[in-house]
Structure 1
Amino acid sequence: MMYGWYGGDWGIGAWIAMALMMLVFWGGVVTVVVLLLRRTHTSEGSNLLRPSHHDAERILNERFARGEIDEEEYSTRRAALRRPE
């Protein structure tokens, strides 16, 4: 009898198990790569996406200086910016 690649007693169950294990392996590899890319991307781009507190206060000061907002609105917004998160 020929036991080996073509004539083994493994059956279709072994092929299904190997296919599932391959999917799990490659899914894990892709997941790790995506998580690593997201971690590096968010740490580099976080300053670009969210303006800092000082930028917001600078813009508020400029709007007040140009007369776009009155003193009451300026005080309210400045207090909101300085409130701890």
Structure 2
Amino acid sequence: MVNVPAIGDPLGIVSGMTRMPKDPIALKIADLAAQAIDASGLLKDGFSFQTGAGGASLAVAEYLKQIMLCKNIKGGFLRSRRDR
């Protein structure tokens, strides 16, 4: 073990990968991925979902949120990393 004055600096880990994409193509892919998850039959009350830190997966989570709100679906958990 080593004593350190502080653990990490959150400002040092934010990168372009942890931000929502603005590229319309990336957003369309994310939208289609969310629609595919919905069509799979897996998106139902109590489901669990975990994203990565990449912008595309954050966008999928955002699109899933909209689908869930429209269908009144509540998940078991959703884990997404989004630093602001």
Is the TM value for this pair above 0.5? Answer: no
Which structure ranks higher in relative contact order (CA pairs < 8 Å, sequence separation ≥ 6)?
Answer: 2
What's the TM-score once normalised by structure 2's chain length? 0.25
More helix by share: 1
What's the TM-score once normalised by structure 1's chain length? 0.25
